[in-house]
A and B are shown apart, each in its own frame.
Chain A
């Protein structure tokens, strides 16, 4: 389970997260919604260990391990996966090579045996099939020349192959048409199970039609201002953030 307590973080001395407390038990999917600038992306970066964010107070643990004390790659090996809002292009780096290198790096850190090229290809092809994606995806360079939708699908493919225990989806739905949205949702839903939890960060309710969350939290001004069941997302959609925030205030 992911447990965040009183988390404060700042960038260049500017406080962004101002005391977030949140628990996502294993097997649950929680959604975090909130207006622009509320700290949604910062939360995902702080949890995954990006440079430039200073944690000034609070803790974040995953299955009892102190996340904040680990390097980003160690967090990845511990099972944390961040689906990026803006996936990064790596010119000249083949997707298959990238994924196998990443998977084997994680396996090495966990003390597991590495997969050879044949074993990896078998695994990757099986996952591609489940996601209705073409094998071509593996041959292309990481995100280079991908459309917005293709980039997000590639994130989902990576997630399927790396099999995280905790997925952070940072506005993975932004810029997606309805078909791509369904593929992303199917990818997340396929991983759902007692040992998987996810934090779905989104601006809109529509993704949550496809990934039905166990809980919804509203983030505003660096704090969780309201929590509830899936119906809270519908309420936000109907009344807008302003209405809900007013009630919370």
Chain B
């Protein structure tokens, strides 16, 4: 299966734009009318050829959403979102893709390199047919509302692993979906999650059977393309007893002068002794230096460590979005289960990020580690918000939290808001926080050795984030390092 040529053209336009203002792309789209009501939800469900139970599930979520109000507790400010002024379904119409990497504009490939996508993946994303052969990473690419390419299905199938668009899973594996969908993030969990439940259009589904170690990294690449379109993807990953999977998620969007809404839900389920490693490099368009445009990123990510000794690790590098509202969490139900959260959040210009995690300790001797690195530059605001909750049953639970903030310049803000609730006296909770600035001495020292000012900032920032970057899979870490440098370009001096 190949991605459509529109994709190539759009990304091409992105490359040509040089991230300058006002670029425009014209794609042949299958677009639902603007607005949100039961008819739109029926239309989405029909387009996806969903069974009746799925439609009922969506309508129930929609009914819940209508009774809820948008949360205002985060330290982010934005104009009121008009939920009736958004397209809830957009799909590129398919044409034949280019046949080889050589046919793709080198500038396009260079763009992907700058965006942080490994080369073979880039070939897939550029829509090159057959480019998936030598890659070690299986990719599912989601453009706007639909999944356009999933690679390596055969290899994975042999291992018993299911990796497919969630729309396909709803049709082909209804029992699994029914059992787990909404079991970690219920329909009424929060405003944005409820919205997602009602209108989600695609995303990835992963099922690792008992005792299987997934033979390769799984990766989903999300891209918002169409104008005035919300993206509401839904990801569900299930690791049965003793299974292991490492999953990567990348996101980009072309730059536009209006804001676009992204409200995703990710649910992870880890059974006994299972491990899920979930890594994200989020590079949605952040808006320009005056804060115009950019993605509103309201995401609910939660993992349930259902079985004893299970482990869920969230690693995120957040450089994009105008607004980030995101708290990847772990519910540690199984005894001796482990939750980890490693985060780098970069804000520059007028970006606002309110991100962190929730670690809910339910089982005995559950352990969680939180390492958060916030980097603020320009006029941005960067908040770490985290909750560590020890329930009465969680005997001997332990948490360690490290929150470090790095400031570049004197117009930005860094905030740390830790909530700790301990209801078991045998639990141990540690919290450390630091705030530092890149100082003149460090910059001059690097420059005296021959580094340009921007390279010096890149080096210092990467050093600051090392504890998190080392948690990323190798090729992702290299790309993330480059991305950090790109995100902070022009932030000094």
Contact = CB atoms under 8 A, between A and B. Distances in A.
Interface of A: 48-52, 71-73, 75-77, 81-82, 84, 87-93, 97-99, 101-103, 105-106, 109, 141, 158, 162
A76 B450 contact: yes
Interface of B: 440-442, 444-453, 455, 459-460, 462-467
A73 B462 contact: no
Interface of B is mostly: helix
A196 B452 CA distance: 25
Contacts of A82: 448
Contacts of A109: 450
Given A90-B463, A101-B455, A141-B463, A76 B449 contact: yes
Contacts of A98: 446, 449, 459
A233 B441 CA distance: 31
Contacts of A99: 449
B448 A48 contact: yes
Contacts of B440: 51-52
A118 B236 CA distance: 43
18 contacts: A51-B444, A73-B447, A73-B450, A73-B451, A76-B447, A81-B448, A84-B448, A87-B445, A90-B460, A90-B463, A93-B462, A98-B446, A101-B455, A102-B446, A105-B449, A105-B455, A141-B463, A158-B449
A90 B442 contact: yes
B451 to A, nearest CB: 5
A89 B463 CA distance: 11
A92 B445 contact: no
A105 B445 contact: no
Contacts of B463: 90-93, 141
Contacts of A101: 451, 455, 459
A88 B439 CA distance: 10
Contacts of A50: 444
Given A76-B449, A158-B449, A93 B455 contact: no
Given A93-B460, A98-B459, A105-B455, A88 B450 contact: no
Contacts of B451: 73, 101-102, 105
A230 to B, nearest CB: 28
Contact of B448 (A72, A92, A103, A141): A72
B452 A73 contact: yes
B448 A76 contact: yes
The 4 closest A-B pairs by CB, nearest first: A92-B463, A93-B463, A102-B449, A106-B450
B420 to A, nearest CB: 26
Nearest to B459: A93
A221 to B, nearest CB: 26
B450 A92 contact: no
